[in-house]
Amino acid sequence: MSPPNKSKPNHGGRRSPPKPQPLTPHEAVPTLTFGPSNNWIEFSKRMALAVGDRFGRLSEIIIKGAYYVPPLPAPDMTIMDSTMRNEVLKSDYRERSKLLIKQDADKPMVYAFIFSKLSLESEDEVK
């Protein structure tokens, strides 16, 4: 007696087509076209998602038209010890400064990404 066949069924030699891989947010951004039939609305929505995915709050430049500025830290008055309260406040300021420095360092990369998604006509218009 032969061992049972554990291979997968052949289905007549036909293979099912491979499932398409979902696009990453960066791949999903269409090329911006210039002219009366442009795709600005779709482009800006997908660009905001892609920038937000990679660079976080920098996507607000696309959504709101202004860079995100974190609020200034306020002292936590529930901490009774003034030395401890000052240390916590200093730490909050350091975190805010790190965020602003990172945001400034990422701005050129966001610009380059946006510029990479422009059509030739759009590039000429920007220049």
Domain ranges of the chain: 38-126
85 and 76 Cβ atoms separated by less than 8 Å: yes
Half-sphere exposure of 73 (CA within 13 A, CB side): 17
- What band does 60 get if pLDDT is binned at 50, 70 and 90? very high
Structure token pair of residue 111: 């610009």
Q: State how far the Cα of 85 lies from the Cα of 82, in Å rounded to an integer.
A: 5
Structure token pair of residue 4: 């049972």
Q: What is the pLDDT of residue 14?
A: 73
**The pTM of the whole model exceeds 0.75:** no
- Which phi and psi (to 5°) does residue 31 adopt? -75, 130
| Average model confidence (pLDDT) across the chain | 87
- What band does 62 get if pLDDT is binned at 50, 70 and 90? very high
**Average pLDDT score over residue span 8-21:** 69
**Average pLDDT score over residue span 38-65:** 93
Q: What is the pLDDT of residue 88?
A: 94
